[in-house]
A = this chain, B = another copy of it.
Amino acid sequence: MTNQKTNDFKEIVRGRRSIKNYDPSVKISREEMEEILELAATAPSSVNMQPWRFLVIESPEGKAALAPLARFNQNQVETSAAMIAVFGDLQNFDKFEDIYGKAVEEGHMPQEVKENIHKSFSGYFETISREDMEDVVLVDGGLVSMQLMLAARAYGYDTNPIGGYEKDQIAEVFGLDKDRFVPVMLISIGKAADTGHTSVRLPVDQIAQWK
């Protein structure tokens, strides 16, 4: 029942189950949660703009605010160490300088390359439709969420990705601009209190074609 920390990739991937019951006495320290998020956020993203934003909802007040939005997932809200609300920031290009300026500063990229990237993409970010940018941040949000769930297991925790919640309300309830922050999913995280269920996967010949 009690998952241990592990660095075994196949065990982390194949042993992952959606866990809905957690040991409510187990909290995750700020330091450990930051390590999990930092590891998750090594995921790739469109133009490396890292549009993912996380609310780590762990206080009694935070969970009380979340509960009415969480539909049939009350058990995860109640017993998890935290509920992580993942959003995509539609204004992610605002962080261009934070990201690419640091790349130059740390010697990963010449200043000229940075300026060329800015020139190449500033028009794209100015003209992309809201719908298309939503698609970008949802895909990037999926990428980082997967690494988050795997990173959690490396630290001995389990997760449950949740799509069924009040997506139209969650930004405002937590004081975020709902026109800017697009909900991706909720992820419960904590120490598993049961082993979860085995779930079936389609065989590869039903999901892949060779061309």
Cβ B207 vs Cβ A54 within 8 A: yes
Q: A77 to nearest B CB, angstroms?
A: 13
Cβ B42 vs Cβ A14 within 8 A: yes
Tell me which of B14, B43, B53, B198 contacts A108 (CB under 8 A).
Answer: B198
Number of interface residues of A (CB under 8 A): 77
Number of copies of this protein chain within its complex: 2
Q: Please indicate which of the listed interface residues A14, A56, A138 has the most CB atoms of chain B within 10 Å of its own CB.
A: A138
Cβ B201 vs Cβ A50 within 8 A: yes
- Of the A-B pairs whose beta carbons lie under 8 Å apart in the complex, a sample of 20, sorted by A's number, is A6-B9, A10-B154, A13-B147, A18-B44, A30-B210, A41-B201, A41-B202, A44-B149, A48-B200, A50-B201, A53-B207, A102-B200, A108-B197, A139-B139, A139-B184, A142-B145, A142-B146, A143-B161, A146-B146, A147-B150
